[in-house]
Structure 1
Amino acid sequence: MLPARLILLAALVLPGALRPGVALAAPEKAAVFGIELLDPGVVGGRPPRPEESRRLALATDELRKAVAAQGAVESVDLAPQAAEIRKEAPLYKCEGCAERIAREAGASLAIYGYVQRNTNQILNLSITISDAENGKVLRGGQVVIRGDTDETWLHSVRWLVKNRLFAEPLPNRS
């Protein structure tokens, strides 16, 4: 017989481990792409300013951490696809290239997003999770960022992951 302390530890560390008939699923592989910038006020687009680039990288890192913390998804390494990602950017409007790149990287999910700058202090963050095989959008969400600070960007990413992207299990994945 297992000691009560060990059983409690297993229940805390391995949710579902002690319920009969519940198997622990391996995390799905996901390509978590960098968050991009959309500035509709600039005709023809523009590269992000240094401060925007830093915040986009910060938000991307937070997205990867928040997705990994969910436990149902494991990020794949996208370094070998870096040239292809740069060529196809922006991914939010490339019509299926994110899913193709995700498949090539060995992922079954593509997670990508962008920040739309409306004014200096009001931005929108949109993140989408799609099936890499067929391009079907499985989950998506958008949140308004009020205030252009590191903390407002990070809070927005965390809120979207928790309350929109993984509030419930992904459709046909649980």
Structure 2
Amino acid sequence: MCAAACAALLAAGGAGAAERVAVFDPELYDTSGEGVRDDQQKRLAMIGERLRAALQDSGRFEVVDTAPVRARLQGGPSLRDCGTCAPDAAAELGADLALVTTVHKVSNLILSITMALREAAPGGGTRAVHSAEIRGNTDESWNHGLRWLLRNRLLAEQAPGQNQPSR
């Protein structure tokens, strides 16, 4: 699935103008039972900022400001549970794509970062879903997971000779 999704991203990026993407604030899905922690909230903000910067700096994407819809979206439901919320909000913001990032915390040792790249409404189709398992609930482990996803999935270079799908 990744090869096709990465190729689709590259095809879009190589077609000329950068695609406009709404990168929504990362959400924590905590099934550890531990509850809200300030350090984790800071890490969510940190990876959101770094993700936006990396996508913008890549030249493949133009990151649109999500501030106009932030308060409404924070009122729920979570973006991971609402199939139309992110694509609708992305369309409202004039974006082509919506990127929803969820950090699933099972425990302080076992976490995962999942990113879902979706077409903006009215289509709303899923373009790609990428996930990385991380070990440890630290700034370094979260950054490592984000860097891996960027390097190996979202911004991965297409292998030579790999065909790009038609759009």
> How high is the TM-score relative to the length of structure 2?
0.80
- How far did 1:33 drift? 0.5
Q: Which runs of 4+ in 1 moved over 6 A?
A: none
**Cα distance in 1, alignment partners of residues 18 and 147 from structure 2:** 20
Q: Indicate the residue corresponding to 1:18 in structure 2.
A: none
Which amino acid in structure 1 is aligned with residue 70 of structure 2?
A: A
Identical residues among aligned pairs (%): 38
SS of the residue corresponding to residue 146 of structure 2 reads: helix
Q: Which region of structure 1 is more displaced relative to structure 2, 80-89 or 127-136?
A: 80-89
- How far did 1:26 drift? 1.4
- How far did 1:82 drift? 1.7
Q: Structure 2: where are the runs of 5+ without partners? A: 1-13, 159-163
Size of the alignment, in residue pairs?
148
Q: Indicate the residue corresponding to 2:23 in structure 1.
A: 32
Q: Indicate the residue corresponding to 1:152 in structure 2.
A: 141
Q: Structure 1: where are the runs of 5+ without partners? A: 1-22
> How high is the TM-score relative to the length of structure 1?
0.77
Distance 1:129 1:40, change over 3 A: same
- How far did 1:129 drift? 0.7
**Cα distance in 2, alignment partners of residues 135 and 67 from structure 1:** 20
Aligned pair partner of 1:61 in 49, 56, 75: 49
**Cα distance in 2, alignment partners of residues 52 and 172 from structure 1:** 40
Question: Is 2:98 aligned against 1:98?
Answer: no
**Cα distance in 2, alignment partners of residues 73 and 120 from structure 1:** 33
Q: Indicate the residue corresponding to 1:83 in structure 2.
A: 71
Give the root-mean-square deviation of aligned CA atoms.
Answer: 2.2
Residues 66 and 158 in structure 1, CA contact (< 8 A), matched pair in contact too: no
Aligned pair partner of 2:150 in 142, 147, 161: 161
**Cα distance in 1, alignment partners of residues 88 and 151 from structure 2:** 26
Q: Indicate the residue corresponding to 1:73 in structure 2.
A: 61
Higher relative contact order (CA 8 A, sep 6+): 2
Distance 1:28 1:50, change over 3 A: same
SS of the residue corresponding to residue 145 of structure 2 reads: helix
Distance 1:40 1:171, change over 3 A: farther
